[in-house]
Structure 1
Amino acid sequence: MLTSFPYRSLSSLLVRRTVQYPLWNPVNARTTYSNEFTKNELLRRYNIEQSSTYFDQFRYLRHVKDAPKVPLSFGLLGLVPFAAVPLYMYSTGIYLPDLAFTQLAYSASIISYVGGIRFGALLEESNDWKKYTYSILPSIAAWLALLVPGRWSIVWALACFQGFLYYDVTKPGYPLWFKGLRVLLTTGSCLTLLATLLLSFILPKKEATTKNTKRTM
C-alpha cells in the first residue's frame, strides 16, 4: 500500500507527523522535569517547616519580625506580670507564697486563653470532635494547676505551657509569625516560672496569709 504513495508525498507526510507529534519533545520534557522539581522542592520546604523535635520549634522565632505590632505589643506586655513576681522576691530576699500564687493564677488564665485561641480558629472550618476536644483541654489543665499541691503546681504549669506550645506549632492553622510569637512568649513565661520555683528553694519563706496559698504553694 505504501508503494502507491509517491516518494515526495510520503516524505512530506512523515515530516508533518514528526512536527505535529514528535517522539521526543524537549519542551515537554523540560516542563515535566520542572513541575516535578517544583513539587519536590515544595515538599522539602514543607518538611523543613514541620517541627519534629522539641528544639525544632525555636526555628519559628525568625518569623517574629513579621508579626503585626498590635499582637506583638500586647504579647510582650503580657510578660510583665510573669517577670514582676520573681524580680520582686529576688529584690526583697524573701519568698512570698501569696505572690507566687498570683503568678500561678495568672499562668492558669493564660493557659486557658491558649485553648480559646484554638477554639476560635475552629469555628468557621471544622466540626471535628478531636480538634474541639483539644481546644478545651487547656482550660481543664489550667484549673488543675490551681489544685495541684505545693511546688508541683508550678511544675504542672510549666508542663502545660510547653506541651500545648509543641502541639500548636506542629499543627496547621496558625500563621508562621503567630507560631514564632507563641514560642517567644511561652519561653519567657516559662523562664519566669522556673525562676520562681528556684527561689522557693533558695530564699527564706514567709508564712502564707491565705488558706488557699498554704495548701497550693
Structure 2
Amino acid sequence: MLTSFTYRSLSSLSVRRTIKYPLWNSANIRTTYSNEFTKNELLRRYNTEHSSTYFDQFRYLRHVKDAPTVPLSFGLLGLVPFAAVPLYMYSTGIYLPDLAFTQLAYSASILSYIGGIRWGTLLEESNDWKKYTYSILPSIAAWFALLMPGRWSIVWALTSLQGFAFYDVTRPGYPLWFKGLRVLLTAASSLTLLATLILSFVLPKKEATTNNTKRTM
C-alpha cells in the first residue's frame, strides 16, 4: 500500500519537500522542490553562514576542477603579466622601477575588472546603494594604488587584491568554481607582487628618469 505524506525540512530555508514512497522501499523516494528556492539560492544561504575567517576561503580551491575551460584558461593566462615582472628582474639582477610600475598598472586594471564583475551581477536586481557602492570600491582602490609613492603602491595593490577577493569569496552570489578560481588567481598574483616588493629591497635599482623627473619605486 502506498503511503503518502508531506515532510517539511530545512525550516529555516522554508523549503517544501513532498515525499511519496512505500515504507518498505526507500529506493522509490521522489523529492520535489517548490519554486520558492532554487539550487543557487540554497548555495547562497549556505555560503552566507560559512567562511568567516581568512583561511576558510581556501576550501573553495577544490572546486577549481569544475571551472569551465574558457575562464580557467584566460584566468591562468592573466597571471603572465604578473609573473613576468619579478622573473625578469630576478634574471637580470637589477630592479627596474619602470617595469615594476607596469605590474602595478596591470594590478590596477585587474582591480577595476573585479569591480566590474560585481557591478554586472547587480544589473537585474533592485537599486541597492550598499552593493553598488561596493562594486566601485575596487576601481577607487586601483586609482589610489597608482597615486601612492614608492613601495607603498605595491603594498596597497597587494592588500586590495587580497581584501576584495576575501569579501567576494565569503559572500553569496558567485558559483563555487568561480570562488575557487578567484582564490587561486588572487594568491598567485599576490605572490608575484610580494616578490617584486622583496626584490625592491635586495636588488640594485635602475632609476627611471624622464626629462626632469625621476621615479624610484
Q: TM-score, normalised by structure 1?
A: 0.78
For residues 103-122 of structure 1, what are the alpha-carbon distances to aligned partners after superposition, in whole Å with 9 as ceiling and x for unaligned?
Answer: 00000000010000000110
Give the aligned length. 187
Seen in structure 2, the aligned counterparts of structure 1 residues 181 and 213 have a Cα distance that, compared at 3 Å, is farther
Is 1:35 equivalent to 2:9 in the alignment?
yes
**Structure (1 or 2) with the greater strand fraction:** 2
Gap runs ≥5 in structure 2: 14-41
Tell me which structure has the larger Cα radius of gyration: 1
**Structure (1 or 2) with the greater helix fraction:** 1
Is 1:196 equivalent to 2:196 in the alignment?
yes
Gap runs ≥5 in structure 1: 1-26
Seen in structure 2, the aligned counterparts of structure 1 residues 140 and 47 have a Cα distance that, compared at 3 Å, is closer
Deviation at 1:209, TM superposition (A): 2.6
- What is the aligned partner in structure 1 of residue 107 from structure 2? 107
- What is the aligned partner in structure 2 of residue 67 from structure 1? 67
Corresponding letter in the other structure for 2:9: N
Q: Distance in 1 between matches of 2:184 and 2:211?
A: 35
Residues 63 and 177 in structure 1, CA contact (< 8 A), matched pair in contact too = yes
Deviation at 1:101, TM superposition (A): 0.4
Q: Distance in 1 between matches of 2:113 and 2:47?
A: 29
Higher relative contact order (CA 8 A, sep 6+): 1
Could you tell me the percent identity over the aligned residues? 84
Corresponding letter in the other structure for 1:177: W
Q: Distance in 1 between matches of 2:154 and 2:125?
A: 35
Residues 98 and 210 in structure 1, CA contact (< 8 A), matched pair in contact too = no
| Range 96-105 or range 204-213, more displaced | 204-213
Q: Distance in 1 between matches of 2:77 and 2:108?
A: 17
Corresponding letter in the other structure for 1:35: S
Q: Distance in 1 between matches of 2:73 and 2:94?
A: 31
Q: Distance in 1 between matches of 2:49 and 2:211?
A: 48
Residues 97 and 206 in structure 2, CA contact (< 8 A), matched pair in contact too = yes
Q: Distance in 1 between matches of 2:136 and 2:184?
A: 23
Deviation at 1:126, TM superposition (A): 3.1
Deviation at 1:163, TM superposition (A): 0.7
Q: TM-score, normalised by structure 2?
A: 0.78
Is 1:87 equivalent to 2:87 in the alignment?
yes
Seen in structure 2, the aligned counterparts of structure 1 residues 214 and 190 have a Cα distance that, compared at 3 Å, is farther
Residues 208 and 215 in structure 2, CA contact (< 8 A), matched pair in contact too = no
Residues 65 and 177 in structure 2, CA contact (< 8 A), matched pair in contact too = yes
- What is the aligned partner in structure 1 of residue 120 from structure 2? 120
Q: Distance in 2 between matches of 1:50 and 1:111?
A: 25
Residues 207 and 216 in structure 2, CA contact (< 8 A), matched pair in contact too = no
Q: Equivalent residue of 2:185, what SS?
A: helix
